[in-house]
Amino acid sequence: MNILQSFAIAISMYSKIPMPDVEWKKENMRYAMCFFPFVGVVIGAVTYLIGRILFQLSVGPVFRGVVFTLIPLFVSGGIHMDGFMDTMDALASYGDQEKKLEILKDSHAGAFAILGLGCYLIWNVAVWSELGPELLGISCLIYTVSRALSGLSVVTFQAARNSGLLRTFQDGAQKRTVGITMTGYLVLSLCAAFVADWRAAAGMALASGLTFYYYKHICKKQFGGVTGDLAGYFLELSELLMLTGILICGGGLWS
């Protein structure tokens, strides 16, 4: 079935979860993006289960923060962090659109990519180490929200290039179906968040909205459209800022 093959393509592309080999033909690509946020569901579930164990064992906050930071990198294989690092180098170049796009294609990591990665990991560990067990469940929803918004951008934003992996997904996708599916993931995740803790959910929603607006702006103004690296950059940045919003608005800083 094409749906199952689309599922296998999405999971194998955006995670390290073992999947059977599937041919990347047009019929199989049609609904692949619909399953992109499912990787976030898996990451959230793994984070929640491991988190409950760590809290039960009264593990120290820094250790917890490191574990929570590494889980999405291990499950995803770091594919989105690669885009984050490439984008950090491109943004720091202050070159024109063509220069920035060339930097995105460069496989070498520059100084600003390394600095950006270091700051990201330290910030992420710090925020996770401050979050208590009462905010664990809502925090695990960020991985689905980030992927739903990233997937939505893939089928709604103009592509910066006429080739590349993102363009392959764009050309093969049933954009209307993917857009509706991404919206469904987003609405369900936010509803679950508001039921769990409306203050923390408000922080998460505000952070994701502002980050998405910033992402759309830089795609249009600085790169002439979206690329796979930019989509990965947004995903990583939105997760970090949503987590920060949960911490601030959910009261984690004062508990």
SS (H, E, C) 176-213: HHHHHHHHHHHHHHHHHHHHHCHHHHHHHHHHHHHHHH
Which tens digits make up the pLDDT trace of 30-53? 778 888 999 999 999 999 999 999
- Sign of the alpha-carbon torsion through 21, 170, 162, 213: negative
Q: Which of 92-96, 115-119, 127-131 has the lowest mean pLDDT?
A: 92-96
Worst-scoring range by mean pLDDT, 63-77, 91-105, 159-173, 230-244? Answer: 159-173
Q: At 226, give phi and psi (nearest 5°).
A: -95, 150
pLDDT tens per residue across span 189-225: 999 999 999 999 999 999 999 999 999 999 999 998 8
CA-based torsion, 243, 237, 231, 176: positive or negative: positive
Share the mean pLDDT of the chain: 89
DSSP string covering 73-103, please? HHHHTTHHHHHHHHHHHHHHH---HHHHHHH
